[in-house]
Amino acid sequence: MSPATPFGDWMKSVQAHVEEALGAFLPAAGSTPVKLHEAMRYTVLGGGKRVRPLLVFAAGALSGADTRALERAAAAVEMIHAYSLVHDDMPCMDDDDLRRGKPTVHVAYDEATALLVGDALQAQAFLVLADADSLPPARQVAMLRLLAHAAGSHGMCGGQAIDLDSVGLSLTLEQLEQMHQLKTGALLRASVVLGALAGGDLSAQQLAALDTYSNAIGLAFQVVDDVLDATADSATLGKTAGKDAAANKPTYVSILGLEPSRALAEKLRCDAHEALAPFGEKAGRLRELADLIVQRKA
């Protein structure tokens, strides 16, 4: 779409495009094993803000990336994200029964199915990206390595492990930041860098700028999540509100307070904008997404 297209229209167009791609890349409904494939489609399709795919497509504008490569990168990241939510919601972790306004997978199906859905979605993510035949092999391997690192023990899974071990503990601001840079930030960074790599190699300077942007929006995303958890209701959020406080989890709001947390989110939004200066007008959608992350209401 043209850069002149209103942001809301661009966002809806990308979300619809990604929804269609996800439907095509997931195992077909009715194929064996039916319950597993049905549950995979239940959790991935028809919900979510698609922030990570939006970041993939926005970053793709920096390098003029091919749409086919972008939709595979976006689908792969979203499948990793969806698998993490399924596992996070299980009784052995956060024990939640509502996600994206509907019953979580272990509630709608059962715990064993939820476990397998997460496992299968993680494998499917790498299969989808590995089948991107429009990418040069060396860059494709680099993208697969990037996604694996972001999803593993030095990324999203590591952050979740720290989170689970921190319940009831008093974390410093630095410790909280490290946890969220892994748990949330790593996959957001992967979304940005994968989108840019889908169109070409990145210089060290370009990668550094995207890292700075990603770090800022990654932290901002979590700060806003903590603010919303403390101030919004479950119907607005589409998930259980007040869960962190009830579980005695350390958050930005519990450490900094509500208004300082809001001020921090705004500072991070400005930092994200500043980091994109080297890319000029091509980074317009990335700037708008930084605004969306900080100004969202759910």
Q: What is the mean pLDDT of the segment spanning 22-47?
A: 96
| Residues in contact with 12: Cβ distance below 8 Å, sequence separation at least 6, in sequence order | none
pLDDT given at position 12 = 96
pLDDT given at position 94 = 87
pLDDT given at position 293 = 94
Residue 234 has pLDDT above 80, yes or no: no
Lowest mean pLDDT among 175-179, 240-244, 250-254: 240-244
Tokens of 174: 């630095």
Give the rounded percent of residues in the chain with a pLDDT score beyond 90.
83
Q: What is the mean pLDDT of the segment spanning 74-103?
A: 94
Q: What is the pLDDT of residues 37-48, one digit of tens each?
A: 999 999 999 878
pLDDT given at position 298 = 76
What is the overall mean pLDDT for the chain? 93
Q: Show the domains of the chain with their CATH numbers.
A: 7-295 (1.10.600.10)
pLDDT given at position 167 = 84
- Give the pLDDT band (50/70/90) at residue 239: low
Residue type, 89: D
3-state secondary structure the chain: CCCCCCHHHHHHHHHHHHHHHHHHHCCCCCCCCHHHHHHHHHHHCCCCCCHHHHHHHHHHHHHCCCHHHHHHHHHHHHHHHHHHHHHHCCCCCCCCCEECCEECHHHHCCHHHHHHHHHHHHHHHHHHHHCCCCCCHHHHHHHHHHHHHHHCCCCHHHHHHHHHHCCCCCCCHHHHHHHHHHHHHHHHHHHHHHHHHCCCCCCHHHHHHHHHHHHHHHHHHHHHHHHHHHHCCHHHHCCCCCHHHHCCCCCHHHHHCHHHHHHHHHHHHHHHHHHCHHHHHHHHHHHHHHHHHHHCCC
pLDDT given at position 54 = 98
Q: What is the pLDDT of residues 109-137, one digit of tens each?
A: 999 999 999 999 999 999 999 999 999 99
